[in-house]
Amino acid sequence: MIEKILVANRGEIAVRVMRSCREMGIYSVAVYSDADRKAMHVRYADEAIHIGPAPSSESYLNIDRIIAAAKQSHADAIHPGYGFLSENAHFAERCAEEGIVFIGPSPEAIRVMGDKISARQAVAKHGVPVVPGTDGPVHDEEEAIRIAETIGLPVMIKASAGGGGKGMRLVRHRDEIKDAIRAARSEAKAAFGDDAIFIEKYIDSPHHIEFQILADKHGNTLHLFERECSVQRRHQKVVEETPSPLMTPQLRMEMGEKAVMAARSVQYYGAGTIEFIVDDNLNYYFLEMNTRLQVEHPITERVVGVDLVKQQISIANGEVLKLKQNDLKQNGHAIECRIYAEDPDNNFMPSPGIIQHITEPLGLGVRHDGYVYEGYEIPIYYDPMISKLIVWAGSRQEAIDRMRRALYAYKITGVKTSIRFLKRIMESRDFIEGNYNTHFIEKNYGFLMKQQECPSDCEDVAIMTVLIDHLDRMEQAQPTRPEGQRGNLWKEYGRRRSLMRL
């Protein structure tokens, strides 16, 4: 049985994994670079081991140092989080060789699913629809032009090793193909050391809908329904929700079954995600599988009522899944916003720096997975995500209201953040109506960027939220304060909020 877990990661996900460890009575070991000496995950863990300089290639991606830290701390397992080494088959193999449990799938499953071409081949053999496109890698530009014309433009040129939106090019015209291939290849070579590319049909009005999978080592595989991840900027997710406004019960059942088949195609075990692209006519196609915990896993946890990290650990322990597909239900609605240290007014450039002040949103139905604190300096070396704000409510409309309330209460100074941009998403008609696809941000860009055009004077509502908060605190400190002030403020707040419903 696993008694001590080294978490080979940093930031919010390291803390989140350690929280589940603590609930399970499992010791946690943090690893940290020079830039993370004062990081929250180091403070939270039961033990912490320094693994090297700030650049990730010399610390969080350095397999030898992580294995040495696991040996030194006598950890029996490693949880890789997401990013870094989480989808590195070689790392999973090394863990096995060293007698350390890798909390994730087999190296073979990581390898097949880590390459988009072999993943397409594996799932297609099991009857899972894939985006129409090439069966194998494309060798030269002439071949690419022939294929694109057969599939029909527009097409996506994609790096087989791609991830994080890198190595992907949309081609609308025949004469753009050569340049797109060169660009995709060189981007993929630089980022992944592999320049293999393939071609896929471009799906119009695409929705990104993914299914959460859990599978044990005894052949039991189930899905925990969908997550709608179509609010994207540059092919990167910004807001996720579940259930998807697009979904029908029939489609959910069908896609869930296909997701389970996709996982079975590689004898998958652990937690994983099958990503699909869905068009307006509800045709769906396998896009890829992520063989790890996703950033957006909390919305599934909230709606299905399952701790996915605990499930990962018990699967790694060789236990049989206690959950049964027919017992799983979606309860209510959850939304996640990713909060970044970035400047929306400056092309979303990362905005690292010292957190001067932070007020985290609290209250009914709010979960905040973060790791920064006042005085903490966000390092320049890593992903600039500060936290994930997750809300839950009985209905979608109530969840949107709650997210808006939480975003208004969320205050960070010292670094620029994406909070304002996220508030605008929660106020946009298309989002409120659930009428959006992956073009949502482009389509609503003007509205999302221009604070002053907000029809209901959002800033006033924000100021009032802070005032009410302040009065609440005063009331606690001074219970004899005359009533009235707060009531009036609430009335005004309610009036403005109802105006905000477009």
Exposure string over 322-334, b if 16+ CB within 10 A, otherwise e: eeeeeebebebbb
Minimum gap (Å) between residue 303 Cβ and ligand ADP: 21
Pairing mode of beta strands 47-52, 77-79: unpaired
Q: Look at residue 347 and give its three-state secondary structure.
A: coil
89 binding ligand ADP? (CB under 6 A):
no
Binding of ligand ADP by 103 (CB under 6 A): no
Helix spans in 115-220 (H):
116-125, 141-151, 177-192
Asked if residue 294 binds ligand ADP (CB under 6 A), the reply is no
- CB distance 431 to 231 below 8 Å: yes
Residue 124 CB, nearest approach to ligand ADP (Å): 15
Q: Site map for ligand ADP, 250-279, x if CB under 6 A?
A: -------------------------x-x--
Task: Give 313's contacts (C-beta < 8 A, 6+ positions apart).
Answer: 2, 5, 20, 21, 24, 26, 77, 79, 103
Q: Catalytic site residue 264?
A: no
133 in Cβ contact with 160 (< 8 Å): no
Based on the shown chain and the rule CB under 6 A, indicate whether residue 228 belongs to the binding site for ligand ADP: no
Distance of closest approach, residue 465 Cβ to ligand ADP, in angstroms: 33
Q: Is 208 or 497 the residue whose CB approaches ligand ADP more closely?
A: 208
Beta bridge mates, 200: 133, 156
Least CB distance to ligand ADP at residue 292 (A)? 12
Stretch that binds ligand ADP, among 201-209, 212-220, 313-321, 420-428 (CB under 6 A): 201-209
Task: Please state, in angstroms and rounded to a whole number, the distance separating the CA atoms of residues 230 and 209.
Answer: 7
- To 10 degrees, the CA torsion angle through 474, 479, 483, 486? 30
Annotated catalytic residue, options 10, 233, 252, 292: 292
Reduce the DSSP state of residue 423 to 3 states and report it. Answer: helix
Q: What is the torsional sign of CA 80, 82, 87, 90?
A: negative
CA distance linking residue 458 with residue 165, whole number of Å = 33
Q: How far is the CB of 132 from ligand ADP (least distance, A)?
A: 9
Query: Which residues within the stretch 419-438 sit at the binding site for ligand ADP (CB under 6 A)?
Result: 438
Which CB sits closer to ligand ADP, 39 or 199? Answer: 199
Per CB under 6 A, the list member of 203, 295, 335, 399 interacting with ligand ADP is 203
Could you tell me which stretch among 49-57, 198-206, 402-410, 446-454 binds ligand ADP (CB under 6 A)?
Answer: 198-206
388 binds ligand ADP (CB under 6 A): no
Backbone angles phi, psi at 195, to 5 degrees: -105, 20
Interaction pattern, residues 235-254, with ligand ADP; x per rule: CB under 6 A: x-------------------
- Scan residues 393-412 and list those touching ligand ADP (CB under 6 A): none
Give dist(CA 360, CA 24) in Å, integer: 26
| Contact window for ligand ADP (CB under 6 A) among 30-38, 155-163, 217-225, 321-329 | 155-163
**Which of residues 136, 152, 164, 363 is near ligand ADP by CB under 6 A?**
164
**Distances from the Cα of 438 to the Cα of 41, 142, 155, 223, 233, angstroms:** 33, 30, 16, 24, 8
Single residue of 206, 270, 298, 350 touching ligand ADP by CB under 6 A: 206
At its nearest, how many Å lie between ligand ADP and the CB of residue 287?
5
Nearer to ligand ADP by Cβ, of 209 and 304: the residue is 209
Q: Which stretch binds ligand ADP (CB under 6 A): 121-129, 200-208, 383-391, 482-490?
A: 200-208
Phi, psi of 273 (to 5 degrees): -135, 130
Q: Which are the catalytic amino acids?
A: 292
Which residues of this protein are in contact with ligand ADP, per CB under 6 A?
131, 156, 162-166, 168, 200, 202-203, 206, 208, 232, 235, 275, 277, 287-288, 438
